Structure 1
Amino acid sequence: MTVKSIQTLVSEAMQEIKTINADDAHKMVEDNECNLIDIREARELEKTGSVENSVHISRGMLEIFLDPNSVYFQKGKLDQNKEMVLFCAGGVRSALAVKALKNMGYEKVSHIEGGFGAISQSKFKIV
């Protein structure tokens, strides 16, 4: 049995997914073209703060909450017609998460290169 390393999984995912930088993501948020989704764990947000205009869905709940029949869609928290832009702390979890969403059938999905680290050095406001 051969078990793939996290580096291999991320490398494979990166070949299949769309990656954008923090500035492009900020413009998409300003233009109301995306759902900005923070997939970090709650304790990470408590330590570093949240990104203004982002929706928090921890990585472990992502596929459940992004099921079109979920409460997130039913209560209007996410717009299924807009691109789903994901970020984590550094870009590893979000790369794998974008691949998972593509496997679910999402076509307009991307992640932010460098994650929260890059976001905190950009125009985004941390609250």
Structure 2
Amino acid sequence: MIRPVSELVASANAEVETLSASELHVALQEARSGGTPLTLVDIRDVRELEREGRVPEAIHAPRGMLEFWVDPASPYHRAEFAREGRYVLFCAGGLRSALATKALQDMGFGPVAHLDGGFAAWREAGGEVVSPFMQGN
């Protein structure tokens, strides 16, 4: 029997840090004023970024490459994941980012959290969105 994805997400959410859009906004403000550095990581597919826009400060790491980009031993490792500070992942609605955050946590990467409700919650809370997606981010 296949374990429903809803159970996987619930299990991940029970084990990872989850931030609301307002909590993320506060963490970003603190980071900008000299607090713990924070890197936002958008794991949505590039087509979603093109269609919906993006968060200006976020780096883009497609879900399918995330673990490879994070792992320093991987030939695909990206320097963006060697920064000091906290990482906050988000997707469209908070499901993929919960699973991705759990995967990174299982790898020993962190501190890492995810945005509850994802990009939709960010937008609904009045978070800045830039559209269309610009290459290089």
Mapping of residues 21-60 of structure 1, within 5 Å: 21-32=20-31, 33-60=37-64
SS in 2 for 1:31: helix
CA distance in 2, matches of 1:123, 1:78: 27
Aligned length: 123
Residue of structure 2 in register with 1:118 after alignment: 121
Which whole-Å CA distance do the structure 1 matches of 2:110 and 2:72 have between them?
14
Opposite residue 28 of structure 2, the aligned amino acid is: V
Residue 91 of structure 1 and its aligned partner are, at CA, apart by 0.5
Using structure 1 for the length normalisation, give the TM-score: 0.88
Query: What are the residue-to-residue correspondences of 1:1-127 with 2, within 5 Å?
Result: 2-32=1-31, 33-69=37-73, 70-73=76-79, 77-127=80-130
Query: RMSD value over aligned CA atoms?
Result: 1.5
SS in 2 for 1:36: strand
The C-alpha deviation readout for 1:3-60, integer Å capped at 9, x for no partner, is 2110111111111111001122122223332110000000000001010100000100
Moved more, 29-38 or 109-118: 29-38
Q: Secondary structure at the match of 1:19?
A: strand
The 1-side partners of 2:4 and 2:77 are apart by 34
Moved over 4 A (4+): none
Q: Which moved more, 1:35-44 or 1:2-11?
A: 2-11
Name the SS for the 2:56 alignment partner: coil
Q: Taking structure 2 as the reference length, what is the TM-score of the superposition?
A: 0.82
